[in-house]
Structure 1
Amino acid sequence: MRAGMIKSKSISAAVLAAVMFAGASTAAAAPGNSGNANGPKLDVEGFTDVDSSSFTIDFDRTYPQGLDVNRTLDVEVTTEDDVIEPEFTDYEVHKDDRSQVTVTHAEDDLDGLTGSITVNGESFDFDYSSEEEPFVLDIFHTNDIHGKIDPLGKISAFINEEAEQADNHLFLDAGDIFSGNAVVDLQDGEPMVDLLNEMNLDAMAIGNHEFDYGQEAFAAREEQAEFDWLSANTEVVDSSIPIAQPQPYEIYDIDGVEVGVFSLTQAPPSTRPSGIEGMEFHDYVETAEQYEYLEEETDILIALTHIGNSADQHLAENVDFFDVIIGGHSHTRLFEEQMVNGTPVVQAGSDSLFVGHFNLEFDGEEVSFNDYYLQETDELTEVNEDVQEMIDSYNEEAEEVLQEVIGETNTGLYRDARYERDTSLGNFWTDAMREQVGADIAITNNGGIRANIEPGEITAADIYTVEPFGNALTEINISGADMIDVIEMGLRDDGGVDLQVSGLEYVYYLNEEGELVDSDVTFDGEAIDEDETYHLVTNNFMAEGGSGYDFSAGEIIYEDAGQITNALFTYADELMDSEGAIDYEDGEGRITIEEAEE
């Protein structure tokens, strides 16, 4: 028997067939039954089963040209239940070795069977009982949950139900699981991680808001997590900080298939500066290119990113070895995949409003992307009772947590005179905003400050009462001249003030009708430099044009640099540590209104 004629189990039947048919010459099909062979018999030296409807025979001599295969072969198939005489439909004599002939019989007439084939007295075993199916991996994905835990019971039930019908699955999150819900924020994210553990999350891209609670909290939540925290472009350059160097990727062995999950984080993350001290964040494309070797080490390679949809598209345009990019950060609702340079890009909105689902099929050579959709959580009715019980418990506990004392004030923090001048609450508020992101200037509109804080203890509930909207910090680079324009936009129609500020002072000069005649805007005690660029932080409501404000002349650095409530909590802690109280005089002279000279 010639070497190589027995089928290797490590080579697929399709590949083997392709090799054997290469360069073959085709003889005319000869219908008939092999049992009627009455021509010259050739001795059989070898046999290879190609698939359930064909096999290759290695004869002891060159196969005679033009000889009908039905006349020279006596073939019998024996199975557990029957004896079959296969009907030949075609045969091919190999050009490179005319002693080899591939015979085709009735299509798939041995499919699902095991037994033996006897050819001219020589028997060979076959097994077509379990032809290999392609590997299918179902992916469920979320992003930018931002502490919104209430829909997670439905999301968990949906994933569990769909996963039961899938052969294999992964549950992935593209980052920003924190910041946006008092229940989660007041416990530094612990409830969120507990719930995702219960939901069997497999991996998460580290988002910018994972740093919001500080480095100690980041380290504690990562240790608490039973899922992988990933980021390839994050580098810890100061080994003394609590945060350990993140894993760039993880490879999961799923039923013998190597599935890689590679991750990127917004660079640099829009969060409080102290949260990312001692760390550097590198370019997305340059980082990804360093991991091109993963294409050889994995069968399926997924990019799980928290860099925003436009950056995901740029990544796909420049890096072509990912089978799919699952994105986050921009809160984009992609109801259909974006196909960019052959790479599908997906994202599932934000705030637990959607869960994404698709599958990847691997046939041993290629990966295909299929059946993508976003499931709206409001449409779901089934609930995972275990997860829901945890949610209900955390919500009940939050009532107690909201009464937690986070500081105290002797002066009280008031907003009452907000339309006439700067106020103690407005000054505390804008100082907190500016300190949180290290900006030059902070401004906020009076309409967003909803209550006073009386002298005495300050509770967490007080913070959420004065800022109930969940507004985010938006950072903008703006010229001094454009900053003056924004300040002048803040004059109300009734001649009152709308902007509380930190880092600058301003004066409105009004005529008798309450109309603006002129203004003075000073920064660091001097007239603001109209040609200089300043780092401004405001709230996202104003940045998006709320109350008629226009920042289009500026350059937005970060649309969402964290929750204002988190900034207030953080600054309250700092003042309690440094001053022992959160005290402000009501009116420091940051804002004044004067009559214009005639």
Structure 2
Amino acid sequence: MAVTQLTIFHYNDLHSKFDQWPQLVSFLEDRRTADTLYFDLGDHADRTHPATEVTRGKLNVRLLESLQPTAITIGNNEGITFPHDWLAELYEEATFPVLVANVYEANGERPDWAKETLIVEQNGVTVGLFGVTAPYEELYPALGWQIESPIEAAERAIGKLSGCDVIIALSHLGFYADERLAERFPEIDVILGAHTHHVLDEGVVTNGVLIAQAGKYGQYVGEVTLSLDETGVTKKEARLHDLTHHTKSEATLHVLRSEHEEANRLLDVTIAETEGYGSDWFGPSPLGDLLVEGLADWCDADLGIIPSGVVLEGLERGKVTLNMLHRICPHPINPCLVTLDGKTLRRFLDDVQEETFTTMRVRGLGFRGTVLGEPSLYQVEAVDGHYHVAGQPIQDSRQYRVATVDMLTFGPLLPYLADQQRRYYMPELLRDVLRETIIDRHHLLQKE
């Protein structure tokens, strides 16, 4: 066969940051042809954006539908920040394939919205596709899903695609997991990656497998070109296109403005009137204090500990609307109850008050703020240099039920918390706790 070229466009981790979406649409409309492939690699939707929130992600699917991707996979934002029914219904009107080989219903059946593999033919070349997403083993079951090892899922999928000229993995595993995937399966030609937001200008070749990833938020579109002859793939090239100064799709700008206005209208619902609550990441934070007290009640805990930086701003005196709460607490973060002995609890309290912790700028883990800030505490005080809980000194041998935020227990920030007994409250988000706490406090004030 003569030398054939296959052109692929890809991007990842938009996170409902729609500022660059009109440029991305314009770029793909200009550059795509009937002979190119185009993929979204997950985390297109993020509940941080009010229009994603009020449409339960359907806006994101409509935006994708207008571009007709060859296929997509899901990220952790679709997988573990959406309630089960949101994800189950998310793609019901989509005509493009959603490839996820390692997510199942609780009964072990593949969801209606997901396909394990897909084979497409392009210029006489058969292209085998499969998708895998990051295996959050504690979180998917809490939402009514089963999650499988991506290695096991990939092995099964690759077996089904073994007769294809090209095999492409749509991965929302992260760059380092992609490298492990490449080491394990050299028969994959290309891994289109996501999750860790790596900017791979020319891709990375591991064990003969080209790994491509295009940053985040739609700043880049990746382009992969494969050359094939009768022996198979002979050349693999990757590059990134910076969309910062690319022309914008006027039609897309109009759609986004309209959707944002409608979302703000739907969230303009008053839930309470308050005297106002201030917020300070490095000083007294009445709103943070209110939230941590509500969180402890929500989790039926002995005490509460949260970084004050999860509250982005305070509340002025007067009406409180859902839109305000979404702006103040936009994170897709869940309540968490962790059980600690007294010694570990003291360590936790010391660590969250260290300057290196309070001034840390965090990206990911569900956090959508700036810095972590000093902790807001409930039922905790220091007396003569010793911590007390509910007026009693902390005892080493006692087990304490601590209400906190899930992001602190994932490992990167405080690794020892990942080894403790814990329970995640899902699908409730932190702003749900804040809403219910304000409503309860408002009712109490009215009764008084």
TM-score by length of 1: 0.59
Q: Mapping of 1:392-411 within 5 angstroms?
A: 392-405=257-270, 408-409=271-272
Tell me how far apart the structure 2 counterparts of residues 162 and 342 of structure 1 sit (CA, whole Å): 28
Aligned to 1:583, which of 438, 441, 448? 441
Alignment of 1:176-575 (within 5 A): 176-179=43-46, 180-211=48-79, 212-238=81-107, 244=112, 246-268=114-136, 274=142, 276-277=143-144, 279-380=145-246, 382-405=247-270, 408-409=271-272, 414-415=277-278, 423=286, 426-428=289-291, 431=294, 442-445=305-308, 448-452=311-315, 454=317, 458-467=320-329, 479-489=344-354, 498-501=374-377, 505-509=379-383, 517-521=385-389, 527=395, 537=405, 551=413, 554=416, 567-571=429-433, 575=436
Alpha-carbon distance change, 153 to 245 in structure 1, aligned in 2, over 3 angstroms: closer
Q: Which segment is superposed worse, 203-212 or 395-404? A: 395-404
Structure-2 separation of matches of 1:434 and 1:446: 20
**In 1, Cα distance between equivalents of 2:416 and 2:146:** 26
Indicate how the Cα distance of structure 1 residues 209 and 218 shifts in structure 2: closer, same or farther if over 3 A, else same.
Answer: same
In the alignment, the residues of structure 2 paired with residue 530 and residue 216 of structure 1 have an alpha-carbon distance, to the nearest angstrom, of: 39
Residue 152 (str. 1) matches residue 21 (str. 2): yes
CA distance in 2, matches of 1:476, 1:316: 37
Taking a change above 3 Å as real, the CA distance of residues 199 and 584 of structure 1, as seen in their structure-2 partners, is same
Query: Across the two proteins, how many residue pairs are aligned to each other?
Result: 414
The answer to whether 1:133 aligns with 2:2 is yes
Going from structure 1 to structure 2, the CA distance change for 1:539 and 1:233 (only over 3 Å counts) comes to: closer
- Judge conservation of contact 2:121–2:127 (CA < 8 Å) in 1: yes
CA 1:435–1:271 in structure 2 vs 1: closer, same or farther (change >3 Å)?
Answer: farther
8 Å CA contact 1:434–1:442 kept in 2: the answer is no
Residue type of the partner of 2:328? V
Residue 31 of structure 2 is matched in structure 1 by 162
Measured at CA, do residues 474 and 184 of structure 1 come closer, stay the same or move farther in structure 2, by a change above 3 Å?
same
Which residue, 175, 178, 199 being the options, matches 2:42?
Answer: 175
Q: 1:443 to 1:188 in 2, by over 3 A?
A: same
Paired position in structure 1 for 2:370: none
Higher helix share: 2
Q: CA deviation at 1:204?
A: 1.2
Q: What secondary structure sits across from 1:378 in the alignment?
A: coil
Paired amino acid for 2:376: Q
- Report the CA distance shift for 1:498/1:363 in structure 2 as closer, same or farther (over 3 A): same
Q: Deviations over 1:135-164 (max 9, x none)?
A: 322111111111112311211221222224
Q: What residue ranges of structure 2 are gaps of 5+ in the alignment?
A: 359-372
CA contact (8 A) 1:236 1:244 kept: no
> Match for 1:363: what amino acid?
D
Deviation at 1:482, TM superposition (A): 2.3
Structure 2 counterpart of 1:174, one-letter code:
L
The alignment partner of 1:348 has SS state of coil
The SS at the match of 2:157 is: coil
CA distance in 2 between counterparts of 1:365 and 1:530 reads 67
CA 1:152–1:321 in 2, change beyond 3 Å: closer, same or farther? same
- Structure 1 alignment gaps of length 5 or more: 1-131, 511-516, 545-550, 587-598
The farther-off stretch of 231-240 and 338-347 is 231-240
CA–CA separation in structure 1 for the residues paired with 2:263 and 2:77: 21
Whether contact under 8 Å (1:413, 1:583) holds in the other structure is no
Alpha-carbon distance change, 349 to 172 in structure 1, aligned in 2, over 3 angstroms: same
Q: Report the CA distance between 1:182 and its aligned residue.
A: 2.1
Distance in 2 between the 1:196 and 1:150 partners?
A: 15
Look at both structures and tell me which one has the larger radius of gyration over its CA atoms: 1
Q: CA deviation at 1:252?
A: 1.4
Q: Look up the equivalent residue of 1:583 and give its one-letter code.
A: R
